[in-house]
Amino acid sequence: MMLQCRLTLLVLIIMTVTMLVLDQIQCSPVNTRNNNQIAGHPLSKRSFFDIQCKGVYDKSIFARLDRICEDCYDLFRAPQIHTLCRKDCFTSDYFKGCLEVLRLTDESDSIQADIMQLHGVDPGL
Q: What is the CATH number of the domain that holds 108?
A: 1.10.2010.10
Contact 40, 29 (CB under 8 A): yes
| Mean pLDDT within 67-88 | 92
Q: Is residue 108 part of a domain?
A: yes
Q: Is residue 89 part of a domain?
A: yes
> Tell me: the pLDDT tens digits for 27-64?
434 333 444 444 444 555 556 656 778 888 888 999 99
CA 118 to chain centre: 14
Number of separate domains in the chain? 1
